[in-house]
Each structure stands twice: as structure tokens, then as C-alpha cells.
Amino acid sequence: MVRISKTYVPNLKEKYMCEKHKVYFKRKLLDWKTEIIRANNEALNNSFDDNSASADIVDQASSYTEKNVEMRAINRQIKLISKIEQAVKKIKDGTYGYCEETGEPIGIKRLIARPIATLCISAQEKHEKEEKVYADI
């Protein structure tokens, strides 16, 4: 197993998806997952600590709306955790960093910005154009 420093950042001169890159992205993904879980637990705890048994119906409605928004955010975070776990599996099976449509490298800069990216920029743009066409119908 290759060891990297906490300050290591993948270098474009290194071989694409070398062991250092894999270790870096796995650490980045797992740290991100840990942070999301911590934030979700905190939000859930705060939500349950809230004593919204107010007699005022407007306060109750407002509290309900806030909780609903929080729960939707938590649900989005849970989906994000699933994508992070899929990315970690791809690191293990050697397919991480390669476009699911073209098989081309996604690119270090793109993966640093969006470690769960599964498409290269050209495939992503094509996908977004198709989505827009269907959304306009």
C-alpha cells in the first residue's frame, strides 16, 4: 500500500490513476463521507431537540416546514453518500477516474473538484444537453 502525506495533491505529471492517486481520492471520498454523516447526525439531533409543541399553529407550521426542508437535505446527503460509496468501489475495481460512457480519463482537475464524477466533461455536457431537450418537451 502506498502512503501519501496529508498535503499530497495529485500531480498531472504522474501516471494517471497511479496508486498515489487512488489513495488520495479514496481518502478524500471517505473524509467527505465522514463529514456528511457527522453533519446529518448533528442536524437530526437538533431537529429532535426542538420542542415545537407550541400552541401557536403558525409556529407549528413553520417548524414543520423547516423540518421538512432539513429532511429533504438529509435525503440528498444520503444519496450523495451512496455515490461516494460507489466511487470507492470503483477505486477498488480499477475503474475510478474513467468515463462511464467513453472510457476516457475524466481528468485529475475534474475529480479533485467533483470526486464522484462518472463522466468526462464532453460526455457530461452531452448528457446535460439531452436532459435540457427532454425538459423543454
Does 18 have pLDDT greater than 90? Answer: yes
Q: What residue spans define the domains of the chain?
A: 19-136
Say which residues have a Cβ less than 8 Å from residue 8's Cβ, sequence separation at least 6.
20, 24
Question: CA 17, 106, 82, 40 torsion: positive or negative?
Answer: positive
Cα separation, 115 vs 111, in Å, equals 4
Backbone φ and ψ of 98, nearest 5°: -120, 140
Cα separation, 71 vs 90, in Å, equals 29
Residue 2's pLDDT is: 85
Does 53 have pLDDT greater than 60? Answer: no
The whole model's pTM is what? 0.80
Exposed (0-12), middle (13-18) or buried (19+): which is 24, by Cβ within 10 Å? buried
Pick the CATH number of 19-136 from 1.10.10.10, 3.40.366.30, 1.20.120.910, 1.10.150.120: 1.20.120.910
Instruction: Convert the pLDDT of each residue in 90-137 to its tens digit.
Output: 999 999 999 999 999 999 999 999 999 999 999 999 989 888 877 766
